[in-house]
C-alpha cells in the first residue's frame, strides 16, 4: 500500500498550524525551523485575520508549502470564485466539502493548486454518521466520495488512515490520500478514527497531518524534536 509517488520525504509530514493568531503561527514556524516544510492553515487562523498574508509569508518568505484547509462548501459558482482567488496565493492544497457540482467547480478553477475532497471527518465515528443520517458503512461512504472526486477532476481526498487501504485498493495510486488524525502515541483527544505514523503510510497515505502531538511534544524537550522524531519514522517506513 506504500505511496509510490515522487514526493520529497520531508514534505510527507504536514503540520497543522491550528493556533489562535498569525503571530503564534509565525512563532511556531520559526521554532520548528527545517523540521517541517509543509503547513496546514485552517479555519481558526482564517477567522483571526491576516490569513492571505500568512500564506504569502509561508510561501514567499519561508519557502514552505501550504495546505489551505477551509473546506469550501457553498453554491458551485461561489466555490469556483473562492478557489480561483486562493490559487493565486501559491497554496499547494485546498479542501472542498460538498456534492458533485461543488467538487467539479473547484477542480475547474484550481490552476496549479491541488483540490482535496473531504470524505468523512476523522472526528466522526459510526454513531456520529448515524446522527447525521448517513445509513451507510463508513468505508463505503469514503470510497464513494473518493471515486466521485477523482472522476470530477479533484486530485485527492482527506481520509482517515483506517479507510485509506480501501481507497488505495480500489482506486490505486492515481489518487492522493492525505490522512489527518495521526497520533504517534495513545490517543485521548477528540479524534476518533486514528492511526499512528507508520500505520498511516503502510495503509496507503501519501501525506499525514499532525498537530497536537507536535504542539504538545509529550516525551520531547521541544516541538522541533517531536517533529524530527516523526520525520525519522517516515524515513524508516519508506526505507524498509
Q: How confident is the model at residue 182 (pLDDT cuts 50, 70, 90)?
A: confident
71 counts as catalytic: yes
Q: Does domain 9-239 have CATH number 3.20.20.70?
A: yes
Range list of β-strands (E), the chain: 13-16, 38-41, 65-72, 93-96, 114-118, 156-158, 176-179, 207-210
Calculate the average pLDDT of the chain.
Answer: 89
Distances (CA, A) of 236 to 23, 70, 138: 34, 32, 30
CA distance 111 to 119: 22
> Is the pTM of the predicted complex or chain greater than 0.85?
yes
The pLDDT score that the predictor gives to residue 193 is: 45
Catalytic residue, chosen from 62, 71, 192, 224, is 71
Domain-wise residue ranges, the chain = 9-239
72 C-beta neighbours (distance < 10 Å), count: 22
Q: What is the mean pLDDT of residues 164-191?
A: 78
Residue 177 has pLDDT above 70, yes or no: yes
3-state secondary structure of 179: strand
Which one, of 111, 56, 66, lies nearest residue 91 by Cα?
A: 66
3-state secondary structure of 131: helix
The pLDDT score that the predictor gives to residue 187 is: 44
The pLDDT score that the predictor gives to residue 138 is: 67
Grid cell digits, residue 171: 482506486
Amino acid at each position: 500500500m506504500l505511496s509510490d509517488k515522487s514526493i520529497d520525504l520531508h514534505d510527507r509530514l504536514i503540520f497543522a498550524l491550528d493556533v489562535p493568531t498569525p503571530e503564534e503561527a509565525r512563532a511556531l514556524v520559526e521554532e520548528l525551523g527545517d523540521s517541517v516544510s509543509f503547513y496546514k492553515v485552517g479555519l481558526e487562523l482564517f477567522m483571526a485575520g491576516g490569513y492571505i498574508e500568512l500564506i504569502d509569508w509561508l510561501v514567499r518568505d519561508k519557502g514552505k508549502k501550504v495546505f489551505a484547509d477551509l473546506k469550501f462548501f457553498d453554491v458551485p459558482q461561489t466555490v469556483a470564485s473562492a478557489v480561483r482567488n486562493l490559487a493565486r496565493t501559491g497554496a499547494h492544497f485546498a479542501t472542498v466539502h460538498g456534492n458533485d457540482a461543488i467538487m467539479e467547480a473547484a477542480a475547474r478553477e484550481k490552476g496549479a493548486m491541488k483540490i482535496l475532497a473531504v470524505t468523512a471527518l476523522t472526528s466522526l465515528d459510526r454513531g456520529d454518521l448515524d446522527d447525521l443520517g448517513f445509513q451507510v458503512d463508513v468505508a463505503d461512504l469514503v470510497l464513494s466520495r473518493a471515486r466521485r472526486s477523482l472522476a470530477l477532476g479533484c486530485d485527492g481526498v482527506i481520509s482517515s488512515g483506517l479507510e485509506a487501504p480501501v481507497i488505495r485498493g480500489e482506486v490505486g495510486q492515481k489518487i492522493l490520500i492525505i490522512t489527518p488524525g495521526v497520533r504517534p502515541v495513545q490517543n485521548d483527544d477528540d479524534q476518533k478514527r486514528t492511526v499512528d505514523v507508520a500505520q498511516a503510510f503502510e495503509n496507503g497515505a501519501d501525506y499525514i497531518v499532525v498537530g497536537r502531538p507536535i504542539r504538545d511534544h509529550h516525551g520531547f524537550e521541544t516541538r522541533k524534536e517531536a517533529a524530527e522524531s516523526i520525520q525519522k519514522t517516515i524515513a524508516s517506513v519508506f526505507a524498509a
